[in-house]
Amino acid sequence: MLFNSLPFLYFFSVIYLVYWNLNNKFKLLWLILASAFFYAYWDVFYFLHFFSIIVAGYIIFRMVLKNTRTYFFIIGVILLLGNLIFFKYIPVTVRLLYDLTGYEIFKSIHESVPLILPLAISFYTFQILAIIIDARRGNCKDDPGFMRFTLFILFFGQLIAGPIMRHSDFFHQIENITFNIDKAREGILLLVFGLFKKIIIADGFAGIVDQVYASPASFNTASIAGAIFVFPLQLYLDFSGYTDMARGMSKLLGITIPENFNAPYLSRSFKEFWQRWHITLSTWLRDYLYISLGGNRVSRLRNYLNLFLTMVLGGLWHGNNYTFLIWGILQGFYLVAEKITQPNQFKIYNFLSPVIIYLLWTFSLIFFRASDLTAIANLFEGLADNTGEKAEGLESLGRYIVFFLIAHSIQWKKNTLKPYLVKKMNYAIIFSVVILYTQMIKIELTGIKFIYFQF
């Protein structure tokens, strides 16, 4: 069930109407059941696997919370990372071993165990790890109980692609959930804005980007350059659109989940960019990986290495392809180089920094989007020879870029605009929004998934 689909509209409508007619205890149970159905709708087997991980995670969390012995914590980390590695990295490793050695045994293993990556495995792994690490550090001292723990991990509002929540973001909110009209109005604004970003703009860019990256050797220079240049816009609109929808639906249910984007393409440094882009992942990597490696409490050289390794591992978290490794290496290089050279001391850099950041980010995303190095080579070859055909819909890029600028400006000025928009909304507009939601979904006939669902 995609958020941008009619089945989800029907699903959420039923959940919402029943939810606000239940007392608080049954609200939580209703959300757990709804979330279980939402995940099982994709695959029942992987839901059972996911639920077993939640149960195991809760048991380990309780052990770590009540016992100072390190081995409970180590068992939990090994279990969660082992589960992630088994599904996400073992298949590609076996395939790589076959490609390198040619041994048939590796080919046989790869073909006999065709593992499919469970939905949301990277996100729920990090969320369970976070609460176990917090318990180990003494930052989480109370047991919320199995039902609340399960809802914290399973909540359909942010399950598939985040934001990655912390226990401090969630548990205090579900003790006594009450309806708040301002929160509901804000939720509707976020929901519609997210739909607009995803369906109207991001999927418009996808028409050009998907063509070119599927067969780069077939297109001319203008088409390839256009696809490379606008993919960062598509990625931002697709992912932040999903996040807006997730936050909007959660607010309609009386729950606030963290913001994940804050006008990242206005950043004046890569450090600032990663404070504005995929914020919950960036802070997770900082708090649970970078700081654990020693952070900046070590020598300067070691600090650079910690920063570099954090971004490399962040790249590998995104995918099991070596292109994601290269993407992570580039992010680490950008941040370390920026820290060493401190380019913001130059006035010309300060003036041009958002453009420079965007261009370097765009280059790195070639490795994020392309399927392999051969596709990347074909992209650069096509840029140079200009012998291919023009991509269908290339002339519409300008219109979508204007839409992006509007959406990005709204997010930049959201704190100024939100109070005004919320106050001007009324119950008649709520009905109008439902109609708009239905009409916008009808535009989206191809079922384009959210990009971050693959992680």
What is the rounded distance in angstroms from the CA atom of residue 281 to the CA atom of residue 30?
28
What is the rounded distance in angstroms from the CA atom of residue 330 to the CA atom of residue 367?
10
Contacts for 67-76: CB closer than 8 Å, 24+ residues apart: 73/132, 73/136, 76/129, 76/132
Taking CA 232 as the corner, what is the angle to CA 230 and CA 236, rounded to the nearest 5 degrees? 120
Alpha-carbon torsion, ordered 344, 416, 164, 59, to 10 deg? 130
Dig out the tokens for 289 from the structure. Answer: 């990986």
Among 21, 16, 15, CA closest to 33: 15
**Number of helical (H) and strand (E) elements in the chain, helices listed first:** 21, 0
CA distances to 303, 308, 331 from 339, in Å: 10, 11, 12
Catalytic (active site) residue 318: yes
DSSP 345-395: GSHHHHHHHHHHHHHHHHHHHHHHHSSSHHHHHHHHHHHHH--SBPPTTGG
Instruction: Provide the H-helix boundaries in 270-346.
Output: 270-276, 279-284, 300-318, 322-341
What residue has token string 């959300």?
A: 31
State the catalytic residue, choosing from 110, 167, 278, 318.
Answer: 318
Among 194, 204, 216, 178, CA closest to 377: 216
Do 58 and 50 meet the contact criterion of CB atoms below 8 Å apart? no
What SS3 state is found at 117?
Answer: coil
What is the rounded distance in angstroms from the CA atom of residue 90 to the CA atom of residue 13?
40
CA 234 to chain centre: 13
What is the rounded distance in angstroms from the CA atom of residue 282 to the CA atom of residue 311?
9
Dig out the tokens for 45 from the structure. Answer: 């087997």
Q: Residue 27 corresponds to which amino acid?
A: K
Phi, psi of 103 (to 5 degrees): -70, 130
Do 454 and 9 meet the contact criterion of CB atoms below 8 Å apart? no
Residues catalogued as catalytic: 318
